[in-house]
Structure 1
Amino acid sequence: MPQERIQQFADRALAQVPELAEDILAEIRRNHPGLVFIADESGEPKALVAIRHALELFVEQMTTGSDRPRALPEMFQDFGRSEVAQGRSLDSLQGIYRLGVRLSWRRMAEIGQQVDIPSAAMYELAESAFEYLDVMVAQSVRGYAEAVARQAGERLRRQRLLVDLLLAEHRTDPSALLADRAADVGWQLPERVAVAVLLRPALEAVAPAVGDGVLLDMEGEQPRLVVPDPDAPGRAELLHQAVAGWSGAIGPSVPLAEAVTSLRWAEAAVAMIEEDLLPRGRLLHCAEHVEALVLLPAGELIDDLARRRLAQLDESGGPAHTHRLAETLLAWLETRGGAPEVASRLGVHPQTVRYRLRQLRELWGEDLDDPDRRFELELVLRARRLRGDLAPPHD
């Protein structure tokens, strides 16, 4: 196509850019009445300036064959960012782009007929228009994604500040500060919370989808969760579904100001999971493992008590015999029943239990009638069972 005709097309198109930009903006206002248009320093709508600039760049690109100007991507990235700032999705922005391209194409087609642009060349122009639309959308999506990421990052930062405050020791009432930080992330302060500590199944593990109501801090080596109203119906089930595949523990339900107490129990349970003293592969409730949490950390004290209270047992015979007597004694202490009840718990014949109970009475005598001695014996024997030295009850 002669360069002279191309130049005629460009001159006419550029001359009509201001009017076309006004028409496009008016059509956008009609189709999107809820949009707010901000004016620049001169009082002109920024959207009108942007439309005009986009049209000029489009004509320049179509008539010169030059690469897309650098200003184009950045300008449309700003549009995407502004959608996030105004709390809108990209759907409306893409609709506006399509509207603008459709109106622009009609005007360009009219100009093409006026200067006798061949049909084949106009088809190429149409293809370029749709490519231009793709560029606008792609760059706006990029700007939108960047703004969403920044917004999410800022929210996570504020959420971590809230979690840190919740789980800190307080010498004064933190209610006012908690309320301010909770408001920053749109979190309603509950009356009670439970704190969970997790063990990552892998370094690259994706954060569990715990929902907006649960505060999640993934920054540390062991992620932490603050669960509001943990006793609410369905809360435990939803939480277990969200952390499926993770190991960890959730502390007891406590008043909001005592969240650090729930954290301590969860941390203690996780430490025991790491030592293989509690099972892996799921979220444990500390309330269901009180015995282990209380007895196992006091290992040295329990061992000293066992040395003094089980001396008779250790001197009664060989390891196998001692082991059987210990299991029988614990079963009797836990049931305080007769031979049939103890036998059922151990999975042995009642006559065998009667024989062992006579031996136990010979070893401890009247101590077996002393509540304090019985409590101490049960304490040390339960600790041995928790460590795996004694078998769990048969039934």
Structure 2
Amino acid sequence: MSRPAWSEVPKPKVERFAAIALAEAADLAQAILREIRCDFPQLQLVEDESGESMALVGIRRAIEGFVQHLASGAADPRVPPEVFQEFGRGEGLNGRSLDSLQAVYRLGVRLAWRRFAEIGQQVDIAAPAMYELAESGFEYLDGLVEQSVRGYAEAAAQQASERLRLQRQLIDRLLSEQRGDPAHTLGERAARIGWELPATIAVGVLMRPAREAVAPAVGKGILLDMESEQPRMVIPEPDTAGRADLVRRATTGWSGAIGPSVPLAAAATSLRWAETAVRLIEDGLLPRGEVQHCTDRTEELVLLPSRELIDAAAPRCLTPLQGVGPAQARRLAATLLAWIETSGGAPEVANRLGVHPQTARYRLRQIRELWGEAIDDPDRRFEMLLVLRAQRLRGELPTGPD
């Protein structure tokens, strides 16, 4: 920025101003640091390898850099970046905001300007030029803040990255089948990310709606690993009031499954059920577009993954149907299932199937003729119930009038 009044200051006066200010830079830095310590006693000051306060080094370098650029006639004094980036980084790593650091900078500039104004009077520099000097000082302050913000942002990113790394490690240990960590070791891992070990957990497995999908906003209490191909969640105390609603809102638009609530040591069990449910979603056997709770899908999770076993048992359980045509076999199988489920007569079966009672009565007579007394064996009926329900879940039996 052009500074016409300062540019008109005779060079000998500028040189005299710079010489005095540079000669006093160390003492001025000490005085500024004393005031800062007085006004901000909570500020933690770090020392460099030689034992000198980095804050003192930064203040002195800032004063010297500002004055040297003024003496050289440069329009925009260069901010020494390293020290002030380190100040910002320190605030970020210690979990503090930048507000206090900016207040410290403003105090330092105000104190420096007070002494520069005295030197300006001593050297007899005109007031308009000194006003421009003050403007330049506050622009310089903006540069210091900018460097500190950069360091703060780097520290924040570093902390976030480190927390995610530690969180993934904790999730891996929690979900490991062969976890050998003593309880106190696992607790130490959790404490490093500020997570208290719960008594019970539920594990969720998500399916990405898109590669660039935004992570669900599940809050700090729920551990989330977005680095896995299928993101994983560890939900502490899942039966706590409101926890299920929070997860449902956070995962809107996602597909996936949440395993049953289990003791912390059985986390891998909850994971296995969630993974099983996700495979059923991928196969089109459970609906997409929502995160399923395994405990709401007990029938599907028990019967559908056992397809080979169910299919192997079906010919033996349903042998009498092998002597009729495919369409009739499907109708009789659906009627048989309705009869077992309702434990009723023709009216109840008809209502279940949505057919006329006379139709239901006719089919039940056929079933009795085909199976005979074997149909009254409870064990046989239970086995048929499993097979027929599995077929219905797979869409192989009609669920309405046929």
State the AA in 1 paired with 2:381.
R
Q: 1:302 aligns with which of 305, 310, 316?
A: 310
Q: Residue in 1 aligned with 2:177?
A: 169
Task: Give the number of equivalent residue pairs.
Answer: 393
- Aligned match of 2:329: 322
- CA–CA distance in 2 between the matches of 1:249 and 1:126? 62
Of stretches 76-85 and 13-22 in structure 1, the one that deviates more from structure 2 is 13-22
TM-score norm. by structure 2 comes to 0.90
- 2:361 pairs with 1:374: no
Distance in 2 (CA, whole Å) between partners of 1:133 and 1:145 is: 18
Match 1:276 to one of 276, 284, 292: 284
Give the 3-state SS of the residue equivalent to 2:80 in structure 1. helix
Instruction: Give the one of 55, 59, 62 matched to 1:51.
Output: 59
Q: 2:37 aligns with which of 20, 29, 35?
A: 29
Question: Which aligned pairs between 1:241-256 and structure 2 lie closer than 5 A?
Answer: 241-256=249-264
1:205 lines up with 2:213 in the alignment: yes
Are residue 359 (structure 1) and residue 366 (structure 2) matched?
yes
- Which residue of structure 1 lines up, in the alignment, with residue 233 of structure 2? 225
SS in 2 for 1:280: coil
CA distance in 1, matches of 2:21, 2:194: 50
Comparing 304-313 with 48-57, which one deviates more in the overlay? 304-313
Which secondary structure does the structure 2 equivalent of 1:388 belong to? Answer: coil
Q: 1:116 to 1:253 in 2, by over 3 A?
A: same
Q: Is the 8 A contact 2:70 2:77 kept in 1?
A: no
Question: Does the CA contact (< 8 Å) of 1:210 and 1:242 recur in 2?
Answer: yes
**SS of equivalent residue, structure 1 residue 131:** helix
343-352 or 360-369: bigger deviation: 343-352
Q: Which residue of 1 aligns with 2:199?
A: 191
Contact 1:342–1:353, Cα closer than 8 Å, also in 2:
yes
Correspondence for 2:115: 107
Cα separation, partners in 2 of 1:391 and 1:237, compared to 1, 3 Å: farther
8 Å CA contact retained: 1:309, 1:377: yes
2:265 is the alignment partner of 1:257: yes
Is 2:93–2:159's contact at 8 Å kept on the other side of the alignment? no
Tell me what 2:321 maps to. 313
Number of the residue aligned with 1:349: 356
Query: How much identity, in percent, do the aligned residues show?
Result: 64
Q: Which segments of 5 or more consecutive residues in structure 2 lack a partner in the other structure?
A: 1-7
Residue pair 1:62, 1:128 contacting (<8 A) in 2 also:
no
The corresponding residue for 2:3 is none
Change (3 A) 1:19 1:347: same
Match in the other structure for 1:75 = 83
Q: Alpha carbons of 1:113 and 1:314: their partners in 2 closer, same or farther (altered >3 Å)?
A: farther
- Measured in 1, the distance between the counterparts of 2:231 and 2:397 equals 34
2: CA distance, partners of 1:150 / 1:72: 23
Query: Quick one: distance in 1 between partners of 2:135 and 2:396?
Result: 78
Letter in structure 1 aligned against 2:323: E
CA distance in 2 between counterparts of 1:317 and 1:37 reads 88
Inter-partner Cα distance in structure 2 for 1:248 and 1:77: 43
Q: Does the CA-based 8 Å contact 2:256-2:290 persist in structure 1?
A: yes
- Structure 1, residues 115-147: CA drift from partner, whole Å, max 9, x if none? 343444334323322221111111111111111
Name the SS for the 1:216 alignment partner.
strand
Shift of 1:171: 7.1
Paired residues of 2:62 and 2:79 also in contact (CA < 8 A): no
Please, what TM-score do these two structures have when normalized by structure 1? 0.91
Q: Deviations over 1:133-177 (max 9, x none)?
A: 111111111111111111121222122221111111237564243
SS of 1:248 mapped into structure 2: strand
Matched letter for residue 15 of structure 1: A
Tell me the secondary structure at the aligned position of residue 303 of structure 1. helix
Instruction: Please give the root-mean-square deviation of Cα atoms over the aligned residues, in Å.
Output: 2.3
Q: How much has 1:212 moved relative to structure 2?
A: 1.9
Could you tell me whether the CA contact under 8 Å between 1:5 and 1:115 is conserved in 2?
yes
